Amino acid sequence: MSSSFLSGYADEIATLTMEHLWLTGAAMLFATAIAVPTGIWLTRSSRWAKPVIGMTNVLQTIPSLAMFGFLLPLPWLGERAARIAIIALTAYALLPILRNTYAGIRAIDPTLIEVARAIGLTDTQRLFKVELPLAASFIFAGLRTATVTCIGIATIAAAVGAGGLGELIFRGVAAVDNRLVLAGAIPAALLALIADGGLGLLERRFKIPMPDGGDQ
Amino acid sequence: MSAALEFRNVTVAIGGGRRLLESVSLEVEEGTVTVILGRSGSGKTTLLRTANRMVEPTDGEIIVTRSTRDEVVALRRKMGYVIQETGLFPHFTLERNVGIVLEVQGIERQQRIERSNELLRLVGLDPEAFSGRYPHQLSGGQRQRVGLARALAANPKILLMDEPFGALDPLTRVEMQDMLLELLKHLKTTVLLVTHDLDEALYLADRIVLLSEGRMVANLARDEFPVSQIPEVLAYMRAFHRRRGGGAKRDLT
C-alpha cells in the first residue's frame, strides 16, 4: 500500500474503525448483560440449561449474511442498519458468554459451595464473593471468544449499510482493488488481535491456583 | 448442665423409601465434645448436617440453644463448621478466609483483621508470615488449622466438625487433636465431631454416639464405651484392637 493511498484513506479508515468498535462494543455490552445473568440463572435451574444453551447454539449456526437479511424487513430495526448489526452481533456473542458463565460456575468445587452455605453466606453473597470470582477466568474466556468473533462478523454488517471496516472490504471486492480490501481487513484483524490479547490478560489475571495444584 | 443441641426423633428419608437416619434422639451437653462414630454410610455426616440445616429432616426436630425459630442463615452463622477438605476459598488470603464470616455480617475491616490475626495465632500460625498467603501456599495441616480458625471466627457456641483430621498424616493428625483439646479448654465450645476412627473418638470425646445404618445404637460416656457389651460397640472394639496388632497373625519381629 503506497503512502499516498494511506494518506488519502486515513480519515476514512479511522472513522470506519470507530464505527466498527462501536458496533462490536455495543453488541458485547448487550450480550454480556443478557448472557451472564442468564448463565447464572441456569446454574440455579439446571433443567433449563440444555434447551437455553441449545437455542443460543442454533443462533450461532445461522450464516451471518442470512441473519442480517432476516432482520432487514423488521419494522423498527430495519430503519437503521446499525440496529440490525448490533442485534445480530449480540445474538452471535450470546453463546460463548452464556456457555462459559454456566460452565465456569458449575466447575467450582462443590465443597466450596457447600462451605459457603454452611458458614452462613446468603445466596447473593455466595454469588458475588465466591462463585463469580472463581468463575471469572472462564467468563473472560467466553468474552474473549465472543469479542473476536464479533469483530470478524461485524465486517459483514457493511452489507446492510451498517458501516464499519467491512465497507472498505466490500468496496474493494466490487472494484477489484486489493488495497481497499486490505485497508479494511488489516485494521479489523488488528482489532481482533488487540481484543484477544487484552481479554487474554484478564483471563489469566483471574485464574485462581487451587490447593490441589490445579487451576480454577 | 443444659443441652446446647438436641435432636428429637430425627429421621431423614430419601427417594425410594431409604432412610439415612431413623428416629435419632440425642442431647448434646453444653461445653462437651460428642463424637459421632460409625462406618461409612451409617448416617453420621447426615446427622451432623441436620444441625445447621444443610440437610432438612423429614421428621423430628432439632433444637439449638432452646430456640427453633432462627432463620437458617443466622443459625449457620452461630455454628462453626469444619470439614475434611477444609474448603478454604482459594481466591482469598488466609486473613480474608478466616474473617469471611465476620465480613458477611458487616463487621469493619480493621476489626476483622485483628480477629483473624488473633485466631491465626491461636491455631499456631504466625499472622505476620501467614495472613497474606493463599491456601495453595500451605500444607494440608496448615490448611486445616486455618479451617479451624475460620470456624471459630464468630465465637460460635457450637462447632460442627466432619472428619476434620481425616486427610492428615498420623503425626499432623495427633498434633491437631492436641491443639483442638487445648483450644477447647479455654473456649468452652460445644463440639459435635464426626469420625470413623475410634482412636480419635476415645481421645477427644466426652461422649461417643455410635450410629449403624441410620440408627443410634449407643450413646455412652467415653469410659463406658470400651467396656460396653452392646454388640455393635463390641464389633467396633474388636476391629480397633485387631488394627492395633492385638490379634494380628503376622509376626513382624
**Residue A103 grid coordinates:** 460452565
Q: Does A174 contact B at CB distance below 8 Å? A: no
User: What is the 3-state secondary structure of B41-110?
Assistant: CCCHHHHHHHHCCCCCCCEEEEEECCECCCCHHHHHHCEEEEECCCCCCCCCCHHHHHHHHHHCCCCCHH
Compute φ and ψ for B213, nearest 5 degrees: 45, 45
Q: State which of B155, B179, B213 marks the end of a domain.
A: B155
Largest CA distance in chain B: 62
Q: Is B104 on the interface with A (CB under 8 A)?
A: yes
- How close B137 comes to chain A (CA, Å)? 7
**Of the residues B139, B155, B171, the one at which a domain ends:** B155
What is the Cβ-side half-sphere exposure of residue A66, based on CA atoms within 13 angstroms?
5
In a domain, B183, yes or no: yes
Together in a domain, B60 and B19: yes
Residue with cell 459435635: B192
Q: What are the tens digits of pLDDT across the range A154-204?
A: 999 888 888 899 999 999 999 999 999 999 999 999 999 999 999 999 999
What pLDDT sits at residue A162? 84
pLDDT band at B200 (very low <50, low <70, confident <90, very high): very high
Question: A119 vs B100: CB contact, 8 Å cut-off?
Answer: yes
Structural domains in chain A?
3-205 (1.10.3720.10)
Mean pLDDT for the stretch of residues B226-232: 92
* Same domain for B182 and B233: yes
Q: Which of B113, B133, B155 is the last residue of a domain?
A: B155
With an 8 Å Cβ cutoff, is A209 touching chain B? yes
User: Taking 70 as the threshold, does the pLDDT of residue B253 lie above it?
Assistant: no
CB A160 within 8 A of CB A72: yes
Q: How many domains does chain B have?
A: 2
Whether residues B98 and B170 fall in one domain: no
Nearest Cα residue in chain B from A112: B87
- 3-class secondary-structure state, position A167: helix
Position B67 confidence tier, pLDDT thresholds 50, 70, 90: low
Q: Per the domain annotation, does B241 fall within a domain?
A: yes
Helix (H, G, I), strand (E, B) or coil at B216: strand
For the complex shown, is ipTM > 0.90?
Answer: no
Q: Give this prediction's pTM.
A: 0.86
> Taking CB atoms and an 8 Å limit, are B136 and A213 in contact across chains?
yes
> Would you say residue A127 has pLDDT above 60?
yes
Q: What is the pLDDT of residue B205?
A: 95
Instruction: Give the mean model confidence (pLDDT) for residues B96-116.
Output: 94
**Do B204 and B170 share a domain, yes or no?**
yes
Tell me, yes or no, whether B25 and B98 share the same domain: no
pLDDT of residue A70: 83
Residue range B28-40: mean pLDDT, rounded: 93
Task: Give pLDDT, residue A213.
Answer: 62
Assign residue B180 the CATH number of its domain.
3.40.50.300
Q: Is the pLDDT of residue A60 over 90?
A: no
Structural domain including B144 reads 80-155
Q: B79-83 and B19-29 as β-strands: parallel, antiparallel, unpaired?
A: unpaired
Instruction: Map grid coordinates 452461630 to a residue.
Output: B78
List A residues 53-112 in contact with B (Cβ-Cβ < 8 A): 111-112
Identity of the residue in B83, B104, B160 whose CB atom sits nearest the CB atom of A120: B104
Indicate the average pLDDT of chain B.
Answer: 89
Closest by CA position to B192, among listed B118, B117, B59, B83: B83
**B1 lies in a domain?**
no
